[in-house]
Amino acid sequence: MIVTTFPPLAASLFSLIAIASLLLAFVMLGSRWLRHYIYAFAAESWLIAVLSAAVGFYGGFPELYVIAVLTVLFRGCILPYLILRIVRPLDVAREVDVGLQPSSSLVAGAFAVIFALVVASHLSVGLGLAGTVAVLALTVMLSLKLIGFLMLTVRHEAVSQVLGLLVLENGIFLGAQILVPGMPLLIEIVILFDLLIVVVCFGILVRYLSSHVGSTSALSLNRLVG
Minimum gap (Å) between residue 88 Cβ and other proteins: 20
Question: Which alpha helices (DSSP H) does 60-181 contain, by range?
Answer: 63-71, 79-87, 102-127, 133-154, 158-179
Total chain residues near other proteins (CB under 8 A):
48
CA atoms in the 13 A half-sphere facing the CB of 34: 25
- Mask: binding to other proteins, 152-181, rule CB under 8 A, as x and -? x-----x--x--xx--xx-xx--xx--xxx
Nearer to other proteins, 103 or 184 (CB): 184
| Alpha-carbon distance values, 70 to 8, 21, 67, 180 (Å) | 27, 18, 5, 18
| Residue 28 contacts residue 167 (beta carbons within 8 Å) | yes
Which member of 191, 196, 217, 219 binds other proteins (CB under 8 A)?
191
Minimum gap (Å) between residue 2 Cβ and other proteins: 5
Residues 7-66 that bind other proteins (CB under 8 A): 61
Say whether residue 111 binds other proteins (CB under 8 A).
no
| Alpha-carbon distance values, 135 to 72, 105, 209 (Å) | 26, 24, 41
Q: What span, in angstroms and rounded, lies between the C-alpha atoms of 138 and 184?
A: 20
Which member of 1, 96, 107, 114 binds other proteins (CB under 8 A)?
1
| Alpha-carbon distance values, 102 to 19, 97, 99, 145, 155 (Å) | 20, 11, 9, 18, 10
Q: What span, in angstroms and rounded, lies between the C-alpha atoms of 183 and 186?
A: 9
Say whether residue 224 binds other proteins (CB under 8 A).
yes
Which span sits near other proteins by CB under 8 A: 36-44, 76-84, 109-117, 202-210? 202-210
Nearer to other proteins, 131 or 182 (CB): 182
Identify the DSSP state of 218: G
Which member of 23, 111, 182, 219 binds other proteins (CB under 8 A)?
182
Q: What span, in angstroms and rounded, lies between the C-alpha atoms of 132 and 153?
A: 33
Residue ranges in contact with other proteins by CB under 8 A = 1-2, 61, 119, 123, 126-127, 141, 145, 148-149, 152, 158, 161, 164-165, 168-169, 171-172, 175-176, 179-184, 187, 190-191, 194, 197-198, 201-202, 204-205, 208-209, 212-214, 218, 221, 223-224, 226
